[in-house]
Structure formats: structure tokens, C-alpha cells
Structure 1
Amino acid sequence: MRNFLRRVLPLAVAGITIIACTGTGMAAAAADSAYKVLVFSKTAGFRHDSIAAGIQTIRDLGAANGFAVDATEDGGAFTAANLGQYAAVVFLNTTGDVLDAGQQSAFESYIGSGKGFAGVHAAADTEYGWPFYGDLVGAWFASHPAIQQATVKVEDRAHAATAHLGQTWPRTDEWYNYRTNPRSSAHVLAALDETSYSGGSMGGDHPITWCKATGGGRSFYTGGGHTLESYGDSAFRAQLLGGIRYAAGQTEADCRPETGYTRLYDGSTAGWSQAGPGGFTNANATLTSTGGLGMLWYSAKELRSYSLKLDWKLAGDDNSGVFIGFPASDDPWSAVNNGYEIQIDATDSADRTTGSVYGFKSADLAARDAALNPPGEWNTYELLVEGERVQVFLNGSKINDFTNTDPARSLQQGYIGIQNHGDGDEAAFRHIRLKEIGASQDRTIEAESYSAVSGASPFSKTGAHGGRTLGYIDPGDWSSYAGVDLTGVTGFRARVVSGGPGGTIQVRTGSATGPILGTVNVPNTGGWETFADVQTGLTGVPSGAQTLYLTYAGTGAGLFDLDDFTLVRGTPPARTGPVRGLAGKCLDISGAATADGTKVQLYTCNGTGAQQWTVNGQILKALGKCLDVSGGGSANGTKVQLWTCNGTAAQNWTAQPDGTLKNPNSGRCLDVEGANPADGTQTIIWDCSNQANQKWTLP
């Protein structure tokens, strides 16, 4: 195993000290490998008087937990040669533009190599004109009220940065509002209760701490850390330690975005029943097994297709498992004999160890070992059940894929439960949640889980959901996915990455030459480590189970990688973000003015509201008004402007497969006048020519 044995064996050695994970105590960090962290605290704007205390705190954490710390305010430290010695870089209350172009490039390459970033507080008030950094930190600062106490709602208690906390955490700090909500692209660990303080402006959904896999590496951010007192708070120090350990690759976590789940257990056992002897204690919203062999099962509802997520932890060499697909029964052996157990114990034979479908199929042991946290630390399972297929994800990485062929068993319907294995086996569970997959819900499919493929093949990639993409895609390649229910599907969204020429994805049914339901353009995303989402509507979609084909087109070789794709049901959601065009610059409202007729121009991307466009169908909207062709004109050179939304054809824009944005009323495309990449260049409409000054990447 990559680090399981190295990190677990010391637990058996007498005399080792592990700091307890209770209340607000420090998180455990037993037997991490030695590593180095760079703390960067350069400021080009407001300077926090807590920076020195923050640096000393991280030095103290390093001394107590086996990592070395260097601190600098010199951007010259950002070279490939120097950064290579560090497992993670901490941006501690940085402000403003702190790195030049060469230093930015070195840092992008560093993250792309799989290394980590940890941002503290004003790290979100940094480098507004650097899109890579904006994606890395997750959201940029917008404003803040006065320093005051607020209630932090802890959403994820498995991540090393939050596992030591209760479900709520009252603390005093300077609470940032952010320009965008990071929930759609990051995994939220904690959020603010805006009713508990004054000045929150994010509409009641106010993330304050999150993590994500991005750009090939890892990212952690906490909005805390303004005040000097923060760095003397043991709970905040533990959060910093956990975030640094995650960024440095010393602990694993499921940092994929997560929405739409219903809590089955988060402190209350309503709807649960105990089968067999023994049971579970219930304290601190944590179930801990006692005695057995028995099972606590969710008797309130029989399940069919669903995503089940839960957090679990073993005390040592203990045994437990998660049961799925069994009939209702008060006999725990019914689940053993009629369902399937996803094993937790890591010390048994291959088909009976962590991630295995017990007795039926071993996990991918290399993938399992890379994703597994040792006893004493929390892990997260996702069990994705679709028909007779179950995919097992450990801390966000896919480690098993099993399809039932036994007519005496079925995954298509049944119940779920957690096992209390016996005396001396201690397993703890938290935050059990469920998302049912039905005709009214979106469905995400890993691209490499195809039924058949031509040309393309799986590729292991850091930052990919499940650890792999469908790669080596050339023109004419295709992949197919059998038995996909397309009832009610209206849209297609794909997570892609490309350092090559890009291309198109054509969505078809029946065969690789079947009818095209929709086509989406895949741009060069800025490198083979920079993922992006692309989306299109679908038409003529048949209902029921179909074989879905994705065919790939373009010019040249190595077009792009496809990570996963989502079939969107109902009205496709609006998307908000920058519209990028010529020279990597953004579609911008001049001076952020809102008067009718304000110039819409090309400008260096800066993350401001003047560049945040909401795409809803054929409407592009920013600062409360719409992208509009002046006077509803159709002549070449007609200016494009901001105007009150009025539903006229002058405000309709359709994304074309070649990356252009067409105004159907005029038949002409959104164009950067004279192909001039200078800041402030006017946008116009012009005959569609497929040139670079007419290519746009929508959010």
C-alpha cells in the first residue's frame, strides 16, 4: 500500500502520542511522511497584523507534526526549481497582485504536477486578474462586515480540517462575502449561518471553508484567520493543520462538489432499525458499533438507483461493512445471504478487504491504497447503485465496479445498512446521506465506464473525478454507454481538459452514425491539467433505456480528454461566469456601468461583476441587463451593448459547434472589432468567419 502500512504500523508501538480528536482538540497526524511547506505572505494591498502570528502558528504545527516550514514574502521563490521541494504552498493573508507572469507560470506548473495549495482568509483577496488562481482559491473576496461572532455550520466532518469539530462552531472573526458561490466547483466543508450575525450577503448559502481538486493538484481554503486571536484558538489551529495535511497529500478526502443529498443520519436515528445483537452508541452525531454480529439498517425506505455517501472510521484492526440490496428483515444474516457487503476492514484477503464487494470482487488495490486513510482517520464512501451495477468510490476515487449477475440477488431494489461486527470491533459512522437517481434527476457518468469504445482509451490523471479520464481522443473516435435512461433529458454537460486543439462532442443514440441530439464545442482549456465544463442543449431525445453514443470530431491528434458527463433533466440550469475570447481576455462591460447602451468590450479577465455573465438559454445577462445588438441591427459592424432585457431578437445568442456565438436575428456572429486584442476593443456583429476574434468560451 502506498502509505497505509507506513502510517498504520506505528499505532501498535507502545508509547506513541496521538492527540485526541474531541471537541476542539488538535486533529491527529500520526506518522506522516516528512515534507516541507512554503508559507507565502506577500501583500500588495491591505496588510493583516496577524501575519506574523500565522507564520509562527504554522511553524509550531510543523514542529509538532513532522513537517518543515519555510516562510517568504519574495515572489522570486516561485520558480520551478525552488517550488519543487515543497509538498504544499500556503498563501497566508496575501493581498493584491503578488506574482509576476513568470512566477505565475511556475506556480501553475507546480499545481499541475499534483502539488497542493492552502489559502487562508485574504488569499481570496489576491490576484484578481489571474483566472487560474481564481479557480484554485475557489472564490474571490467581495466585502466584509465588522468583526463579530457567527455560527459556523460544519457540513463535512470527515475532512481532516473539520473532523475535530462539532456540527456547529461559534467563533469570532472577520467574515468575508465572496463574489461567487464556490459550491458548484468545490466541496464545501463549512458554511456560515447568516442569521447568526449581521452583514452576510450571500443569500443564506454562505460557504466559508472548502476543498477541491483543481489544475491537477489539491486546494484547501478557509475564510477564517483575520484576527490575531484566531492563531491561539486550538480549533482553528487544528483546521489549519488538517488543511495543510490535505494540500500536502498526507491525508485523503472526497473533495468533489456535492449537492442534492438527503440526510439519512446526522444525529437522529429516526427511520433506522437494529437487526440482531449488539448495536450502536449515538453521540456527537456519530454512530459507534458495539457487540454483534448485527446491523443497523434504514428501514424507512426501499431503494432502487441511488448514490449513498457515508463517512466511516476504524479505531484499529477492526471489522465492519456497508450492506446494500437486501430485503427487509430483522435477521442480519438475511443481508449477508441476500444482499452485498462493501467491506471496510483493510486487513483481510483481496476479495474481503476495504472496497471489495465481500466474497465477490476485490477492489483495485493500487487505487484503494492510494485513497485510503488509516485507522484513527475518517474515510468517505460513495456507493453508486444503478440497476444491477454498483461503483465504489473511496475518498472520491473509484476503486471498484461490480455488476450483479446472480438471479438470487438483486441491486435493483432493497435496503441499506451498516454492520456492527462483534465484540472488540469498533467502527464509527457519520453523515449518512442519499441521492436517489430517478427520471427527474440529473445523472453523471464517468466517461471511462463505457460499454464499447473505438480509438480512445482510459488515462490515469490527477484531478480527474475517479482518477481517470477517457483520453487519447482523436477525430473519428467514439464511446458508447448501454442502458442509459434518457427520459426527460434536455441537456448535456461534460467535464473536459485539453492542451491540444480541442474539438467537438456529438451526442447520438443507436449507433456511432445515429441521429445527433446535440453538439458541444470543447476548447483548449489552457493545458492538460486545467479542467473545464462545457454544455449544450439536446433535442429529439428518445425516452427510456437507450445506448448513448458520444462521437468525437476535430482536426489533428490528441483533441481533448473527457472526464465525465452529465445528462441534464428538466430546464437546463443557468450558468454564471466569464465569457472568454480573443487572447484569453474576457467579455466586459465598460466601467462596470449599467446604463442602457454601455459599451461591451474585450478586456483582461479580472473576476469583477462586469465580467460575470449568466447564460440562460439564448440570453446572456450581466449586472442585471442583457447582451444586445444596438438597435436590433443586422449590418456588419453594428455595435454590441448592454441594454435592459426586453425579450427581443436583438438579445438572442446561440452557441455554435465551432465556438462562435451567433445572433440568429442578424445571422451574424459576436466579433472583436478588427481582431484587436487590446483592452477596451469594442465588440460588434460581423459575418461568421470561424476566426479567433469570433471564438468564445461560455461558462
Structure 2
Amino acid sequence: MRRRLFRSILGVATTTLAVLACTTVPAGPASAADAPYDVLIFSKTAGFRHDSIAAGTQAIRELGAANSFTVTATEDAAAFSTANLAQYEVVVFLNTTGDALNAAQQTAFESYIRSGKGYVGVHAAADTEYDWPFYGNLVGAYFASHPAIQQANVKAVDRGHAASAHLPQTWTRTDEWYNYRTNARSTARVLATLDESSYSGGGMGADHPHAWCKTYEGGRSFYTGGGHTQASYAEPAFRAHLLGGIRYSAGRSKADCRPESGYTSLYNGSTTGWSQAGPGNFTNTDATLTSVGGMGLYWYSAKQFGSYSLKLDWRLAGDDNSGIFIGFPPSSDPWSAVDNGYEIQIDATDAADRTTGAVYTFKSADIAARDAALNPPGEWNNYELLVEGERLRIYLNGVLINDFTNTNPVRSLAGHIGIQNHGTGDDASFRNIRIKELGGGPGPDPDPGTNTTVQAEAFTSQSGIQVVGKAGANGGSTIGYLDPGDWAAYNGQNLTGVTSLRARVVSGGTGGTLQVRTGSATGTVLGTLAVPNTGGWESYAEVSGALSGVPSGSQNLYLTVAGSGTGLYDVDEFTLVRSGGGGGSGTGPVVGLAGKCLEIDGGATADGSQAQISTCVGGSARQTWTRTGQTLRTLGKCLDVSGSGTTNGTKIQLWTCNGTGAQNWAPQSDGTLRNASSSKCLDVLNSSSADGQNVHLWDCVAGVASQKWTLP
């Protein structure tokens, strides 16, 4: 077979990886001038007042003067009117405390965020508006307590964001370190954590988020726990941290701020498992790989992958060229990757079918979506390559920009992965390469005996649909602002054996009807799901409906919206339910020891709510479980092992569904429920059948009544 002369073709040779001394990227302004914008600083205090507010205001003014934004500072809550807020791209809550806004002002600010604008919370912004749920979800977590001011180590765990890209992996500084009432990780992308072993008074344990970002209700949010002291605002690294958060919230720097869990690091400083094919190499400094010479390929030789989500951060120095190769067999010849795999290109100025986001020479990215999501040379970008069977979806900074299905029987998306060093003068850097292997998913040919769950925002095409970042959503986003006639298409879904559709929805509006069609947005309706008002825009529910006349094989599936009014409901995810598939399905009670029912204490819906047993009450929502494959769901969330623990006595709780092994429960022939990640069983504490008795994780013991369960 004649080899094509790709611009990204690799040479053949082997080199050794050069390891350099660790350095820290210096803090500085944006690498390219941002389009001008306006920022409002709000620093009203109804509680404790920080003496650093003036210093913080001055620092942000100076950052604005150097970085294309103007600053207005106020402590007057009257500034929170719809007309006044419309002037600004970002509102910074700078060490606010207490109840700062009245009901009308809160409503105006909610509309502001929902219009796509930005919020930055600094330090005591988390000690503000405890009785306003919208604000609590926007900031990400509320303040709980703090020890004395002291030095501590901040761990920069995500250095692909503008607020953290300049930081060393360990950032040592002095401040007042907050403990929070909840962990923000389930609804936000955590950028930095606190190392509680480095100071006294930490109260959150090994996972103590300190700075994070998120999308919420159409807007962008960044929060940092730093900024108590006046000295903070004179620190170059902290000022750059604050600047990055402002730029992200203003939409000037793009980032993937979806929540993330369950990933395994392939590279975060250690090159174990990696090999070089072809000439050139990558330097390894400050947990960053940077290309040198070429053409070559640095590939993860330790393992091949099938269905997975691969994430990594990348940066070009200028008009440079690189790429990510996937789906190639093991070989020291880089031509193997070219001839047998696929390259996801990194080079924004090349032709459409070989530019950033393209599957090189096979399929162009959506160029408009790509351009809107792309950061310029000198700044970091994030790729997610979501491989499910022979379907590949490419996300750039959290935005879907390409959806490709391999139909070539000679090639496959399964195989090794690698990063390219294209040649001298093509300078590309990579950070934080991590992977989450998937047990299945909506590829073009999933096993017909399993159910298929699809994130609603992963549509192929749409009309009238908006992707909405939302707390509690599985994957961090829903499709929302749904009006009658809107639709979303999901191409290449295997509908063999599908008998019903189940959807996770949320509505603070009138609700409506979700219709299921194939072929087109006006095709025959296969079934409908009634979506009620679920009690608010943060209160999720599951709805389902039978389907009839479902065609077999790979089909283009359409979800269409019907009802009266506007803004009817949001859809988080949907599941194609097959008869007898997915490890079983059904809805009803889970019955255990002494005929008692598994329930969530008090019917609470917060992450971390305790699971227990109690006398069965027919129709009780907290005792009604939906069995979906190997998950058990109630109250819109999943039965979960706390912290993916494996030790006897680990808490069993309710948690946002996230696809991890901590939420997989495999029924055994002896009546036990075995957890996938721990190989231990769901057990009743002390074998007591008293109402309110907690359940926990324990070694599986044959014949023990406290581990016997009857599923719906």
C-alpha cells in the first residue's frame, strides 16, 4: 500500500527522553491581547470585614490596566439591576460576607449569569448568601471554618487552566485556609487543593479543594480560597492566579470546567510506560513534556485501550504542528501509527481536514465551534478524546468539535495512544495525560444485550438546543432552554432490542413531553416521556416511556420537544433500555434483612446522604430504586461507596451518578450485591434489623442474612 505524504508524517529512529531540572513557568499577562471588557468588583460586607479589600481592589484595577479590562468597584447592592449588570462581563465578589443582596437584586444577578456572563469569588465570597441556593451552587461550596493564618502547600492539580497554568505543582504561600461545608469536586473542576499535612487545622482530609471553576446555568464561575491577607495581592503568582480566573469567567480564556472523576494518570511527571519511536524526543520538566526535533512519536507502550476517555492539556508556542495518535498497534516504526491509527491534529492554520480538531485527512472539525473554543498559541488547551467502540468524539476545552465513526475494517480506534514531535521548529508541550477506561457505551455496535446511556449534550446535531453547565448533572451539563419544536440528534445508535427509553430530567418550568423518533426530527414518534415540573432547576427526576416500532441496527435517533410555553425542561442523560439487558432493569424496593427496605436517610438528596434500612413503605420515593445495568438509582442519584473505599465499614451513600466502579453493584447468585471496585458486599451494620440501621461495605460472607438482597 502506497504511503501518503502527510504533513505530520513521522521519521524512523529511537532516542532517549531528556530529563531537565524542574522550573516554574513565570507568571505574566495573557499571551495575546484580549478583546476589551468590563469588570464589576462587589465587596459589600454584612458580616466580618476583611482589611484586604482595598488591596484586592487595587490589584484588580492594575491587572485590568495591563490586560484589556476596565474596573468599577462598588459596595452598593443597588448596582445589581438588570440594566446596570448588562455593562459587565464579570462580577467579582471580593471578600463579601453575609446577606449582601435582596430578592430583586438576586433575581437580576441570576438573569445575568443565565445570559452567559461570569462570576469570580474570592476567599470570603464563600461566606456569603447562605440562604440563596442559586448562589451556593454558583460559588461551589460554602465556608465552614478556618485555622490561624499560616504557611501551607497548595497543590496545583490541574495546570491547563489560565488560573493555574503558571503555578508550580506545589505552591507554598501564607494565607487563611478555609474548610468548606461540602466538597466542590462533584460539581466543578478542581484546579488546586490544600495539602493538610503541611499546616494545622485542615478539616477536609486528603481531598481539600481550594480553587475551582465550573459552568452554571449558562454562565461561568471561578472561585479561589486565597486572598485573606493584604500581602496576597502583592504576590505575582497570586495576581496571575486571580487574572486567569477573571479571564476564564469573562470568556477570554477557554477551559474544560466539567467535573471529573475516575481517571488514571498516564503522565504527570513520570514517564514510566512510555517509549520513543522515530527521531527527536520530548524533554520532561515541571511535569511537562515538550517536543524536540522529529519527526517522531512518543507512545504509551505499556497498554492498549478500547473504549475510553483520554484527556490531556496541550500548548503550541506559535504556528506549530503536532497531534495525538490513537488506535495503532505496538511498533517501533512510527509509520504504524500513520497507516493503522488515526491522528487528532493540532495545527490551527492547516487545511480544514488537517487542522486542530480534525481527524487528520479523514474528517474536519466543526470549524466555527473549534474557533470559538480554541485558545491561541502560548496558552494551554484541553482535549478529551472519547472513544466508544468505533466512534470518536473530540472535545476542545469541553466543547464537542468533531464526531467521527470509523467504518474502515482495516483500521480501528482501539490500540495504543501517542503524542507527536513533528520536527525542529514545531514546539508543542503536553501535561496531565490521563485516561478513564469505559465498560461500554454508545458506539455504533454496542452489545445488544446491554443498556446504553448517553449524555444528552453529546448530540450530533441540533436545533434550538443549548448546552447548560449545571450542578448535579452527570457529566456536568444538560441540554436546556428547551422550547416546543427543538430537537437533538444522536447518530449511529444501535437500537437492536430497545424497548423503552429512560431520561434524567430537571424542570422548574411547566414541563412538557419528550418525543423519541428515528430518521429525522419529523420522523414517526416511537414513544413519548412525560416530563413534570420536578420541583426546581436543581431537582432531578427520572422519567421513562415504552417504545414501539423500533427499527434494529444502527440508526439516527432524535429527541424532540413538545409542550406549551418556553424553557420547559432540561435533559441530563438518557438510557436506551433493552429487554433483559444491562445486568437487569426494573423499578421498586430493594429488600434486605428481616424484610426491611433499603432507603436514603430522611429522603435527603444531597451527595453523601447515608443509606440505611427501614420498614418498607409502599410508594416511598426514598425506598424506590431503579436498577440500571449495575447501578441502583433513587432520588435522581446513585448508590455509592464513599471515596471509592475498599476497607470494611466504608460508608454507603447517595452520590451523583458518575460511572465509576464505586457505583457498580453486581448481583450474585447467592443474593449478595458485590461492589465492582472493592469486590466487597453491601452489608447491614451489626446485622441489626432496627429501623434506621446503616448499611456499609464489608467482606462478602456466604449465607449471612445481612448481605442478602432482593432487587426489583
Q: Please, what TM-score do these two structures have when normalized by structure 1? A: 0.72
Post-superposition offset of 1:238:
0.8
Q: Give the structure 2 partner of residue 340 of structure 1.
A: 342
Alignment map for 1:353-364 (pairs within 5 Å): 353-364=355-366
Is 1:447 aligned to residue 456 of structure 2? yes
**How far apart, in 2, do the equivalents of 1:486 and 1:429 lie?**
41
Contact 2:527 2:546 in 1 (8 A): no
Structure 1: give runs of 5+ residues left out of the alignment. Answer: 1-20, 573-614, 628-642, 662-699
Q: Give the structure 1 partner of residue 688 of structure 2.
A: none
Cα deviations by residue, 1:465-487 (Å, 9 ceiling, x for unpaired): 89993775659999777556999
Q: Which of 193, 199, 202 is residue 191 of structure 1 equivalent to? A: 193
Q: Give the structure 2 partner of residue 415 of structure 1.
A: 416
Distance 1:479 1:312, change over 3 A: closer
Q: Which of 375-384 and 179-188 deviates more?
A: 179-188
Q: Which of 632, 654, 669 is residue 621 of structure 2 equivalent to? A: 654
Identity value in percent: 60
**How far apart, in 1, do the equivalents of 2:316 and 2:486 lie?**
48
Distance 1:532 1:304, change over 3 A: farther
Q: Give the structure 2 partner of residue 160 of structure 1.
A: 162
**How far apart, in 1, do the equivalents of 2:236 and 2:142 lie?**
27
Q: Give the structure 2 partner of residue 459 of structure 1.
A: 465
Q: Please, what TM-score do these two structures have when normalized by structure 2? A: 0.71
Q: Give the structure 2 partner of residue 116 of structure 1.
A: 118
Distance 1:106 1:149, change over 3 A: same
Distance 1:399 1:525, change over 3 A: farther
**How far apart, in 2, do the equivalents of 1:316 and 1:477 lie?**
40
Alignment map for 1:32-51 (pairs within 5 Å): 32-51=34-53
Read off the aligned partner of 1:494 and give its amino acid letter: R
Q: SS at the partner of 1:367?
A: helix
Q: Give the structure 1 partner of residue 27 of structure 2.
A: 25
Cα deviations by residue, 1:558-611 (Å, 9 ceiling, x for unpaired): 573545416698999xxxxxxxxxxxxxxxxxxxxxxxxxxxxxxxxxxxxxxx
Post-superposition offset of 1:168:
1.6
Q: SS at the partner of 1:649?
A: coil
Distance 1:442 1:178, change over 3 A: farther
Contact 1:144 1:176 in 2 (8 A): yes
**How far apart, in 1, do the equivalents of 2:487 and 2:87 lie?**
40
Q: Give the structure 1 partner of residue 437 of structure 2.
A: 436
Distance 1:239 1:559, change over 3 A: closer
Q: Give the structure 2 partner of residue 76 of structure 1.
A: 78
Distance 1:376 1:190, change over 3 A: same
Q: Which of 471, 479, 488 is residue 469 of structure 1 equivalent to? A: 479
Is 1:141 aligned to residue 143 of structure 2? yes
**How far apart, in 2, do the equivalents of 1:95 and 1:125 lie?**
5
Q: Which of 602, 619, 625 is residue 620 of structure 1 equivalent to? A: 602
Q: Which of 80, 98, 108 is residue 96 of structure 1 equivalent to? A: 98
Q: SS at the partner of 2:244?
A: helix
Q: Which of 242, 262, 275 is residue 264 of structure 2 equivalent to? A: 262
Q: Which of 502, 508, 513 is residue 511 of structure 2 equivalent to? A: 502
Post-superposition offset of 1:52:
0.8
**How far apart, in 2, do the equivalents of 1:61 and 1:644 lie?**
49
**How far apart, in 2, do the equivalents of 1:484 and 1:205 lie?**
39
Post-superposition offset of 1:170:
1.8
Contact 1:44 1:97 in 2 (8 A): yes
Alignment map for 1:91-490 (pairs within 5 Å): 91-411=93-413, 413-438=414-439, 445-447=454-456, 457=463, 459-461=465-467, 463=469, 469=479, 472=482, 474=484, 483=493
Distance 1:237 1:472, change over 3 A: closer
**How far apart, in 1, do the equivalents of 2:228 and 2:342 lie?**
49
Read off the aligned partner of 2:504 and give its amino acid letter: A
**How far apart, in 2, do the equivalents of 1:484 and 1:531 lie?**
31
Post-superposition offset of 1:499:
6.1
Distance 1:493 1:161, change over 3 A: farther
Post-superposition offset of 1:305:
0.5
Read off the aligned partner of 1:129 and give its amino acid letter: D
Distance 1:316 1:475, change over 3 A: closer
Structure 2: give runs of 5+ residues left out of the alignment. Answer: 1-22, 442-449, 577-581, 586-596, 626-633, 636-712
Cα deviations by residue, 1:386-435 (Å, 9 ceiling, x for unpaired): 11111110000011111111222111x21111000001100000000001
Distance 1:651 1:121, change over 3 A: farther
Read off the aligned partner of 1:421 and give its amino acid letter: H
Distance 1:484 1:307, change over 3 A: farther
Post-superposition offset of 1:304:
0.6
The alignment yields a C-alpha RMSD, in angstroms, of 4.2
Contact 1:473 1:560 in 2 (8 A): yes
Post-superposition offset of 1:461:
4.6
Q: SS at the partner of 2:247?
A: helix
Post-superposition offset of 1:653:
2.3
**How far apart, in 1, do the equivalents of 2:501 and 2:223 lie?**
32
Q: Which of 509, 512, 533 is residue 523 of structure 1 equivalent to? A: 533
Contact 2:508 2:569 in 1 (8 A): no
Q: SS at the partner of 2:243?
A: helix
**How far apart, in 2, do the equivalents of 1:191 and 1:493 lie?**
34
**How far apart, in 2, do the equivalents of 1:442 and 1:644 lie?**
26
